[in-house]
Amino acid sequence: MKITYSRVSSEDELYQILALQKKNAIDAVSSAEKKNEGFVTVSHSYAILKQMNDACPHVIAKDGDIVVGYALVMLKEFRDEISILSAMFETAEELLGGKKFLAMGQICISKAYRKRGIFRGMYNFYKEELQDEFDCLLTEVATDNQRSLEAHKSTGFKVLKTQVTDGISWELISWDW
């Protein structure tokens, strides 16, 4: 297994992201899996995923030609495209003041590739690629997704605020670069 990190550069990679997202969606995994493995909350359409990628390409981990992990890049311009994330941007602007930030739209790793350092590898690549343009990376993690929260904290994210949007409790977290 030779994992490589890159930015999305093809339609096929976008479709592979959507397939991985579908397998790990909150409504596609069991309660035990949600607790032990985590889950993704938002399901993207191909159109919005491509628009986001065209503006600033997403980060992916690949084993050969297979996308085994992704970390979506979401610029502020997309704040209203995914309604559940609008409150995150509003709060971030209040808390981060004049810092130039972007949002990590979602991160996911194929079950067969977990616990191999890919999460940290994607985030390190993400920082390497974007730290010259942005001061920090922002994201939200559902408070009941403890596996994801702990992984983010171990990478360097700090909790800015807990807030409830559409009945879901979220930890708004930031990684200062």
For residues 158-165, average pLDDT = 90
Quote the CA–CA distance of 137 and 122 in Å, as a whole number.
Answer: 13
Average pLDDT taken over every residue of the chain: 89
For residues 44-71, average pLDDT = 95
Kindly indicate the confidence band of residue 53, based on its pLDDT and cuts at 50, 70 and 90. very high
Kindly indicate the confidence band of residue 168, based on its pLDDT and cuts at 50, 70 and 90. confident
Please tell me the number of Cα atoms within 13 Å of 29 on its side-chain side.
21
For residues 74-100, average pLDDT = 87
Q: What is the reported pLDDT for 62?
A: 98
Q: What is the reported pLDDT for 167?
A: 84
Rg over alpha carbons for the chain, rounded to the nearest Å, is: 15
Task: Output the six-digit token pair for 50.
Answer: 């491509």
Contact indicator for 54, 73 with CB cutoff of 8 Å: no
Quote the CA–CA distance of 123 and 70 in Å, as a whole number.
Answer: 10
Q: Is the pLDDT of residue 54 over 90?
A: yes
Q: In what order do the strands lie in the sheet with 3-7?
A: 3-7, 59-63, 66-74, 101-109, 136-142, 168-176, 158-165
Q: Is the pLDDT of residue 31 over 90?
A: no
For residues 11-25, average pLDDT = 91
Quote the CA–CA distance of 105 and 78 in Å, as a whole number.
Answer: 10
Q: Domain ranges for the chain, please list them.
A: 3-176
136-142/168-176 β-pairing: antiparallel
CATH homologous superfamily of domain 3-176? Gcn5-related N-acetyltransferase (GNAT) (3.40.630.30)
Please tell me the number of Cα atoms within 13 Å of 124 on its side-chain side.
8
Residues whose CB falls within 8 Å of the CB of residue 75, separated by 6 or more in sequence, listed in order: 52, 55, 56, 102, 103
Q: What is the reported pLDDT for 80?
A: 85
Kindly indicate the confidence band of residue 128, based on its pLDDT and cuts at 50, 70 and 90. very high
Q: What is the reported pLDDT for 173?
A: 95
